[in-house]
Amino acid sequence: MPESLYDVLGVSKSASADEIKKAYRKLARRYHPDTNAGDKGAEERFKQVQTAYDVLSDGDKRKAYDRFGSTNGRGPTAGPGGVNVDFGDLGDLGDILGGIFGNIGGTAARGGRRGRQQAVRGADVETEVRLSFEDSLKGAEAKVPVELTVACSECGGTGAQPGTAPVICPECNGRGVKAESQGLFALSTPCPRCRGNGTVIEQPCAACKGSGRERRLRTYTVKIKPGVKDGTKIRLKGKGEAGAHGGPNGDLVVITRVAKSETYERRGDDLVVQVPVSFPTAALGGKVDVPTPEGTVSLKIPSGSEDGKLLRIKGRGAPKLSGHGKGDVLARVRIQVPKRVNKKERELLEELQKVVG
């Protein structure tokens, strides 16, 4: 019959705080490693005494231990391997016990005390969404499939076969570390049995093989603002990988991949468009039609415009992501040289040639 923590200290279940303290002092002196050098049995006993005292000297922990002892029917045990606890159906008590067993171990573990497992934020997940150039200007709604690691639906993420539960690691009493007391110093290493988790799974969940996780395809609908560029990152808070130990979820980062336009070249929020202009119009001035995302605009070409000149059409470019206003359309003058000319054109050009050389 394994001992209870009360048995370890040799006190009754109704012992007062004072009695517990006295019993602890007596036993701690008797089994202290300094006075029992090399005696493994004494060392083991010393640790058990520490463990028992850490729990029973703390009102809340003692209450939880007492309550727990009567709720799972197995009774708390403090065998040679330490305290063996079943978390089944305990709800909040699991938290309290996490508090207890995260802190037991006394001086031997002080160097490497782990406490509650630290909350870890889930990882961010990146994915790409492809857009036509037109949609990048107008805005769009895209369905984005993302493969995420989520809690196993069979075991609810515990990794234990449904109907069973992970148990406190008997090797380290749930501390996740093994502590070796060497006189004044305490060395601690991650527990080899539970790999630092503090709990072990006796019957792993068949669906996830004990990992507690599964890959699941989720589809999110992402609102894409008008004006996104190729490579714009849209962050969806909390839609990334799940956090661990109560940590927040990571984010989903959607990167827009915008197809090239045959008409426009994007430059910041401005759109550059090539505009063919005849030689006479470039020389004398005139009007040409320029495409913009919201329809054709008639643009005045000043006389004497050179090839490559940029003419600005204000406020007709890409919407600014800030939501305020738009960039411009930059019309680049491309002077057209006729490849073939008719009789009339030839006469006129020859006339001109005589004048300008």
**In whole angstroms, how close is the CB of 202 to Zn ion at the nearest point?**
13
Partners of 300 in the β-ladder? 287
**Which residues 6+ apart lie within 8 Å of 34 measured at CB?**
183
Q: For residues 123 and 151, which CB has a smaller minimum distance to Zn ion in the complex?
A: 151
* Distance (Å, whole) CA 214 – CA 299: 59
Segment contacting Zn ion (CB under 5 A): 18-26, 183-191, 229-237, 281-289?
Answer: 183-191
Segment contacting Zn ion (CB under 5 A): 106-114, 124-132, 186-194, 324-332?
Answer: 186-194
* Distance (Å, whole) CA 202 – CA 168: 10
**Sites for Zn ion among residues 68-107 (CB under 5 A):** none
Q: For residues 32 and 193, which CB has a smaller minimum distance to Zn ion in the complex?
A: 193
Tokens standing for 234? 């849209």
Q: Exactly one of 22, 193, 225, 309 binds Zn ion (CB under 5 A); which one?
A: 193
138 three-class SS: helix
Tokens standing for 273? 């468009």
| b/e per residue 162-196 (b: at least 16 CB within 10 A) | eebbbbbbbbbbbbbbbbebeeeebebeebeebeb
Sketch the per residue contact string, 260 through 299, with Zn ion: x for CB under 5 A, - otherwise: ----------------------------------------
Q: For residues 10 and 99, which CB has a smaller minimum distance to Zn ion in the complex?
A: 99
In contact, 99 and 59? CB cutoff 8 Å: no
Q: For residues 103 and 292, which CB has a smaller minimum distance to Zn ion in the complex?
A: 103
**In whole angstroms, how close is the CB of 199 to Zn ion at the nearest point?**
8
Q: For residues 173 and 292, which CB has a smaller minimum distance to Zn ion in the complex?
A: 173
Sketch the per residue contact string, 135 through 174, with Zn ion: x for CB under 5 A, - otherwise: -----------------x-xx-------------x-xx--
Q: Exactly one of 27, 191, 271, 318 binds Zn ion (CB under 5 A); which one?
A: 191
Tokens standing for 197? 């988790």
Backbone angles phi, psi at 118, to 5 degrees: -70, 140
**In whole angstroms, how close is the CB of 204 to Zn ion at the nearest point?**
8
- Which of 189-195's residues contact partners 24+ apart within 8 Å by CB, and which partners? 189/112, 193/169, 194/169
Does the protein bind Zn ion through residue 194 (CB under 5 A)? Answer: yes
**In whole angstroms, how close is the CB of 4 to Zn ion at the nearest point?**
21
Tokens standing for 132? 């036509």
In contact, 128 and 220? CB cutoff 8 Å: no
* Distance (Å, whole) CA 126 – CA 227: 20
110 three-class SS: helix
Q: For residues 151 and 313, which CB has a smaller minimum distance to Zn ion in the complex?
A: 151
Sketch the per residue contact string, 204 through 223, with Zn ion: x for CB under 5 A, - otherwise: -x-xx---------------
The DSSP line for 50-100 is HHHHHHHTSHHHHHHHHHHHHHSSS--EEETTEEE-B-TT-THHHHHHHHH
Binding footprint of Zn ion, residue count (CB under 5 A): 12
Q: For residues 96 and 152, which CB has a smaller minimum distance to Zn ion in the complex?
A: 152
**In whole angstroms, how close is the CB of 212 to Zn ion at the nearest point?**
6
Sketch the per residue contact string, 1 through 20, with Zn ion: x for CB under 5 A, - otherwise: --------------------
Which spans of this chain sit near Zn ion (rule: CB under 5 A)?
152, 154-155, 169, 171-172, 191, 193-194, 205, 207-208
